[in-house]
């Protein structure tokens, strides 16, 4: 029984059966309510629910009739209103008015069981028009304007009519469209109309979503002009196009080409905008993520199945802290036309009770499993985001003395992502800054196979980030005109996104601090506060004093090594600096040698460390670190190796980096008695010196040593690209040049020293010479009774003492 029609007498049992069917189709009822709401005056009071907009000349005078039930099941499936042949002829179209502003268009059929003066409707029609049995309505003939009201394209939402008929079989929309045109040819349809459609012995509930009129040029036999006009009511003709779209949350499996674009739309939300989300500098990363993880999900399931393609199930985002991993994952739900992602902090999974940690993993995947069982390939995308995933997915067997909880959690996660019962409707996103700790089985294809580094932003990325964080100030005219965002982007090399945000906050604090009154209590000078603006000086002051990049250059690290400057006492020093500049340029410009290493060797106190620090400073690389033994006092061999590895790992995160490995023999714990050295540190250093940086990164390594012979025996010299000798001051002329540049001696003292050393060989390091000069100054002050810090020239006795030492 269908649509309340048991027999011509309309048995009550048949009506109840139809009511149960449409109770299952709650969505159709809701569509009817929306249609009636539009009819009830959602627009202007004069506008009808369906804008049939007939010509007055096309209508005849209306007559009053009574609404009745449809007499048979077969007629209920025709989508026609049924009358007696004494009232109207079959195939005519009428407008039914239920109130002055509510009118609905129907096509007619006749049946002898309908009482004259009555017009019978199926249950979907009565629900759509809001009709009740026996209601008096005005019925008028209506003639379609076939030049304007023939349907070109009609979009229809479809779902199973009753829950008991739900199955996962594929339904070909092309065949459905052909059957639809055959069943309903030359019939009237309106936007919001509900009807029942029979296909392959299954009943489907339909809802008309959109109608476009046919191009008038086609009706005239002319080429199409491409003009499409939306209409509210139209007539189905033989060449009308019907497109089906699956109802929301429906398990219907549609295949074929007669599907709407909405059904194939990108899972990427068309309204997403990185700038509005507060994400900058990640354009390339997102493009790569989309290509690998989302592109296959845009295509219809049947094409994916024909290609034998499997969707990517996991993405691992890794990189230094503060570069946008968590922010990107947090906003990813806004980018996708999918349900809200489940965001889980890694440590939250762990539980003190046995088995609860594994149960927490299962709960995360429960919704996806249930929906895949119910909907199959039509299941929606479930996104699960793990922040700090390394907390729960450490390498199995690496936890000494562990109860095995971490191992079983990893096992559970592995089986859920890609186990025996595979889920094809999930996307797991893991985030960490320690990818080396994660179990390798989790990183194989089929699990977290897309590994994307979210690194430090480049200049373009920094410009985007600064633009985002200053947008509100700029919109309220609180950003001074002298602030150049491009200049700040250039100056903030190797700043992470979080550090750039901190820089903006620090500049804001500096600006606000200017308007705080200095009195017994803290208060704001409201007169000046109205003119508050963040200036360029505020940003530069914050850049100088407040915010330093974690992966950048800290001038304090190497400033102490060149506090006295570089004394160019002769050609040997000049050649070292020139060779160093050449190696810096090679590192910057060469694509064939991303790793350049140089060893500065020479006697003690010859200034090797100062020269290395100077070369590093002059390079202007965004990342400069000094690996020095004075920072590893008391470290075990393992701790030293880890400290060195961290310095090099940090260097790999910057596009241009310079690492100074100072006093290598001290790093190796070398002593000539024995001899003794740390082989573990030696092997680690050899590996780090030869390891090329990641693609797109460049590294300059500058080493210093006073024991070239020892490094030769350890086969370390071969690890460096080149070796540069740094000699001591060897001639009297070089000594005089050094004293001249230092400027501590009067002409008389320099003449005396010149007479003593001219043409003779000397042997003294520049560092030791500086020490002797300072000692001679103190000697002069003692002999003169001057113990003030005022600089004075050395006495003749002091000069003689220096000469004796040399």
List, by residue number, the catalytic residues.
608-609, 662-663, 690, 767
CB atoms under 10 Å from CB of 42, counted, come to: 11
Tell me the HSE value of 414 on the side-chain side, using a 13 A CA sphere.
18
Report the alpha-carbon distance of residue 619 to residue 581 in Å, rounded. 7
For residues 39 and 49, the answer to whether their CB atoms sit within 8 Å is yes
Name the pairing type of β-strands 253-255 and 382-387. Answer: unpaired
Report the alpha-carbon distance of residue 584 to residue 606 in Å, rounded. 22
Strand order in the sheet with 656-661: 623-627, 656-661, 698-705, 595-601, 722-725
Dig out the tokens for 608 from the structure.
């090797």
Greatest alpha-carbon pair distance for the chain in Å reads 140
Report the alpha-carbon distance of residue 629 to residue 216 in Å, rounded. 86
Beta bridge partners of 556: none
The dihedral of CA 639, 641, 644, 647: what is its sign? negative
Dig out the tokens for 432 from the structure.
């960490």
Report the alpha-carbon distance of residue 505 to residue 509 in Å, rounded. 6
Going from the C-alpha of 246 to that of each of 209, 295, 433, the distances in angstroms are 11, 21, 42
Contacts for 641 with CB less than 8 Å, ≥ 6 apart: 680, 681, 684
Beta bridge partners of 108: 81
Look up residue 46 and give its DSSP letter.
T
Beta bridge partners of 197: 204
Contacts for 662 with CB less than 8 Å, ≥ 6 apart: 609, 612, 626, 627, 628, 629, 703, 704
How is the chain split among helix, strand and coil, in percent rounded to 5?
45, 20, 35
- Nearest C-alpha neighbor of 36 from the set 153, 194, 161, 143: 194
Distance from the first to the final alpha carbon of the chain: 118
Report the alpha-carbon distance of residue 47 to residue 51 in Å, rounded. 7
Report the alpha-carbon distance of residue 12 to residue 766 in Å, rounded. 112
- Judged on CB neighbours under 10 Å (0-12, 13-18, 19+), 639 is exposed
Helices 608-619 and 571-589: angle between axes, nearest 10 degrees: 40
Report the alpha-carbon distance of residue 491 to residue 493 in Å, rounded. 6
Contacts for 480 with CB less than 8 Å, ≥ 6 apart: 533, 534, 535, 536
- Reported as type and span, the H/E element at residue 28 is helix 26-37
For residues 488 and 479, the answer to whether their CB atoms sit within 8 Å is no
């Amino acid at each position: 029984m269908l649509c309340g029609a048991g027999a011509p007498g309309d048995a009550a049992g048949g009506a109840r059966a139809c009511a149960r069917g449409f109770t299952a189709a709650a969505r159709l009822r809701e569509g009817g309510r929306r249609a009636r709401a539009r009819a009830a005056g959602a627009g202007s009071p004069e506008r009808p629910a369906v804008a049939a907009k007939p010509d007055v000349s096309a209508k005849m005078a209306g007559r009053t009739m009574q609404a009745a039930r449809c007499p048979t099941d077969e007629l209920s499936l025709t989508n026609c209103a049924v009358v007696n042949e004494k009232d109207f002829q079959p195939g005519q179209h009428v407008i039914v008015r239920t109130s002055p502003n509510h009118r609905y268009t129907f096509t007619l059929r006749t049946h002898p069981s309908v009482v004259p003066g009555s017009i019978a409707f199926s249950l979907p029609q009565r629900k759509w028009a809001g009709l009740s049995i026996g209601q008096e309505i005005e019925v008028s003939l209506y003639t379609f304007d076939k030049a304007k009201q023939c349907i070109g394209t009609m979009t229809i939402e479809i779902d199973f009519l009753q829950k008991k008929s739900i199955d996962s079989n594929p339904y070909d929309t092309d065949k459905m469209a052909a059957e639809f045109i055959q069943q309903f040819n030359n019939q009237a349809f309106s936007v919001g109309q509900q009807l029942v459609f029979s296909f392959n012995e299954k009943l489907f509930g339909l809802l008309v979503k959109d109608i476009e009129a046919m191009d008038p040029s086609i009706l005239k036999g002319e080429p199409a002009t491409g003009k499409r006009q939306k209409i509210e009511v139209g007539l189905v003709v033989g060449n009308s196009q019907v497109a089906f779209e699956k109802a929301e949350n429906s398990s219907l499996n549609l295949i074929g080409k007669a599907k709407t674009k909405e059904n194939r739309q990108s899972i990427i939300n068309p309204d997403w905008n990185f700038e509005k989300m507060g994400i900058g500098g990640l354009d390339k990363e997102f493009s790569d993520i989309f290509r690998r993880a989302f592109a296959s999900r845009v295509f219809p399931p049947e094409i994916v199945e024909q290609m034998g393609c499997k969707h990517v199930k996991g993405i691992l985002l890794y990189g230094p802290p503060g570069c946008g991993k968590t922010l990107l994952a947090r906003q990813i739900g806004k980018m996708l036309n999918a349900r809200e992602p489940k965001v889980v902090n890694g440590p939250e999974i762990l539980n003190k009770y046995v088995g609860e940690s594994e149960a927490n993993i299962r709960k995360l995947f429960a919704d996806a499993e249930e929906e895949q069982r119910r909907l199959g390939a039509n299941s929606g995308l479930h996104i699960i985001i793990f922040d700090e995933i390394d907390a729960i997915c450490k390498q199995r067997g690496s936890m000494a003395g562990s109860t095995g909880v971490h191992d079983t959690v990893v096992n559970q996660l592995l089986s859920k992502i890609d186990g025996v019962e595979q889920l094809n409707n999930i996307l797991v996103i893991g985030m960490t800054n320690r990818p080396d700790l994660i179990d390798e089985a989790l990183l194989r294809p089929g699990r977290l196979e897309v590994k994307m580094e979210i690194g430090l932003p480049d200049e373009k990325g920094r410009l985007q980030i600064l633009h985002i964080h200053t947008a509100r100030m700029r919109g309220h005219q609180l950003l001074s005109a002298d602030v150049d965002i491009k200049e700040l982007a250039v100056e903030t090399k190797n700043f992470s996104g979080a550090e750039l945000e901190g820089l903006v906050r620090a500049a804001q604090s500096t600006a606000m601090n200017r308007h705080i009154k200095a009195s017994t209590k803290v208060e704001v000078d409201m007169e000046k506060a109205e003119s508050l603006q963040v200036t360029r000086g505020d940003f530069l002051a914050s850049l100088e004093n407040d915010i330093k990049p974690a992966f950048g250059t800290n001038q304090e690290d190497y400033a102490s090594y060149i506090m006295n400057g570089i004394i160019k006492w002769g050609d040997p020093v000049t050649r070292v600096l020139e060779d160093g500049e050449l190696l810096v340029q090679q590192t910057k410009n060469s694509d064939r040698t991303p790793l350049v290493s140089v060893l500065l060797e020479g006697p003690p106190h010859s200034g090797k460390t100062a020269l290395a620090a100077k070369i590093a400073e002059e390079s202007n690389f965004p990342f400069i670190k000094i690996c020095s033994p004075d920072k590893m006092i008391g470290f075990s061999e393992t701790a030293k190796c880890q400290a060195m590895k961290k310095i090099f790992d940090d260097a790999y995160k910057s596009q241009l980096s310079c690492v100074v490995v100072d006093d290598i023999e001290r790093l190796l714990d070398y002593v000539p008695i024995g001899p003794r050295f740390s082989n573990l540190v030696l092997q680690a250093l050899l590996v780090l010196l030869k390891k090329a940086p990641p693609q797109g990164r460049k590294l300059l390594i500058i080493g210093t040593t006073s024991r070239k012979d020892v490094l030769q025996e350890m086969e370390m010299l071969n690890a460096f690209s080149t070796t540069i000798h740094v000699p001591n001051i060897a001639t009297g002329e070089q000594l005089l040049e050094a004293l001249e540049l230092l400027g501590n001696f009067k002409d008389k003292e320099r003449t005396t020293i010149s007479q003593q050393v001219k043409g003779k060989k000397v042997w003294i390091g520049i560092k030791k010479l500086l020490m002797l000069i300072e000692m001679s100054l103190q000697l002069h002050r003692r002999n003169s009774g001057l113990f003030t810090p005022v600089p004075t020239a050395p006495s003749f006795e002091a000069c003689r003492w220096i000469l004796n030492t040399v």
